[in-house]
């Protein structure tokens, strides 16, 4: 039924991407160039993450694909379907069941284990891009560990807005060596990259870069000594569907003057909590 090779790519292509991945794992936070392929989806729609996924996925893997926390958004569904068609592997919405999670701009709420791999899609892998447009010079700055440009961007935000205004993609220092763009995950997720048990791979298809965080890598969010790093405050907010507290929530506005309401951003996590809650409720009822 399938005229394509397993996982879409020919073996040579997979090998080239895997080789870049190995180098990326060996030098945490360092951007490894790779020969980004033309994909059946447009560049900028997750081709980096997809290529990493196709290069490492095996027949026994169980995959989960999310787009900003959601399993059901168009991007997540089409990527998941594509991988599924090209490999025939099982798919899941539950983080704990997946062996590989491909994600656009979120780290799942359920803590990842050493058995799992997280793949993050990256639009702009170069944290120095704002202050240094030349790729060559940016590479040199990385080599010399010269990150004034990144700090300057943060400083400028404080001057303009009174605080660092990175809504997402707050730059991080990896293993005290390379400054890395964590991909546009919310600041809430930054600290969850630190000392993470799972292997985390980053793929930027349009920019042709791969980088990685091996398990238990030190990841620090950059902050000035007198302006500590703060993540989004979810204080006092509760998911209206599952009642979760202290997780990353989406704010929605109701019509006609009613206050905003909140829902878990990670839909898989939320659904799992809802179903276990209803199971619990049923259990109590049958016990009466």
Partner 1 sequence: METNEGAVLSLQNFRKQFGSGCEKCADLDERHLQRNYCPNCRTTYACADVSLELYGGEILGVVGESGSGKSTLLRCLYFDEEASSGEAFLQGYKSGQVNIFTETGQQKRYIRNYHLGMVYQNPYMGLRMSFSSIGNIAEKLIAAGGRSVDEMTGRATSLLHKVDIPPYRFLETPATFSGGMQQRVQIAKALSNNPPILLLDEITTGLDLSVQAKVLDLIKGIQRELSISMIVVSHDLAVIRMLAERTIVMLDGKIVEQGLTDQVLEDPQHPYTQKLVQSLL
| Nearest to partner 1 of 22, 163 (CB atom) | 163
What's the chain's Rg over C-alpha atoms?
20
Residue reference for tokens 């891009």: 129
Active site residue 264: yes
Active site residue 196: no
| Nearest to partner 1 of 42, 165 (CB atom) | 165
Catalytic residue chosen out of the listed positions 167, 270, 283, 287: 270
| Nearest to partner 1 of 136, 159 (CB atom) | 159
Burial environment of residue 80 by CB neighbours within 10 A (0 to 12, 13 to 18, 19 or more): buried
Active site residue 163: no
Binding mask 15-34 for partner 1 (x = CB under 8 A): --------------------
Site residues for partner 1, 92-151, by CB under 8 A, read: 131, 140, 144-146, 148, 151
Binding mask 208-247 for partner 1 (x = CB under 8 A): ----------------xxxx--------------------
Q: Binding residues for partner 1, how many (CB under 8 A)?
A: 17
Binding mask 158-197 for partner 1 (x = CB under 8 A): xxx-------------------------------------
Binding interface with partner 1 (CB under 8 A): 131, 140, 144-146, 148, 151-152, 155-156, 158-160, 224-227
Which residues are marked as active site?
Answer: 29, 239, 242, 264, 270
């Amino acid at each position: 039924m399938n005229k394509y090779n397993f996982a879409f790519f020919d073996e040579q292509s997979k090998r080239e991407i895997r080789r870049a991945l190995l180098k990326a794992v060996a030098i945490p936070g360092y951007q490894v160039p790779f020969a980004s392929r033309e994909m059946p989806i447009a560049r900028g729609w997750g081709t980096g993450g997809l290529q990493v996924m196709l290069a490492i996925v095996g027949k026994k893997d169980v995959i989960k694909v999310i787009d900003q926390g959601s399993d059901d958004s168009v991007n997540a569904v089409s990527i998941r379907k594509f991988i599924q068609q090209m490999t025939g592997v099982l798919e899941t919405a539950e983080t704990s069941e997946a062996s590989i999670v491909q994600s656009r701009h979120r780290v799942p709420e359920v803590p990842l284990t050493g058995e799992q791999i997280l793949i993050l899609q990256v639009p702009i892998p170069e944290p120095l891009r704002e202050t240094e447009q030349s790729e060559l010079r940016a590479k040199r700055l990385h080599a010399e560990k010269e990150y004034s440009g990144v700090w300057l961007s943060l400083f400028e935000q404080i001057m303009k807005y009174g605080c660092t205004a990175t809504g997402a993609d707050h730059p991080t220092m990896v293993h005290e060596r390379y400054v890395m763009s964590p991909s546009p995950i919310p600041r809430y997720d930054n600290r969850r990259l630190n000392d993470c048990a799972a292997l985390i791979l980053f793929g930027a298809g349009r920019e042709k870069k791969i980088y990685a965080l091996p398990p238990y890598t030190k990841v620090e969010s950059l902050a000035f000594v007198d302006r500590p790093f703060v993540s989004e405050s979810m204080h006092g907010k509760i998911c209206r569907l599952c009642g979760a507290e202290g997780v990353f929530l989406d704010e929605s506005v109701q019509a006609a003057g009613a206050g905003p309401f909140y829902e878990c951003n990670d839909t898989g996590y939320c659904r799992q909590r809802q179903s276990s809650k209803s199971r619990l409720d049923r259990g109590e009822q049958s016990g009466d």
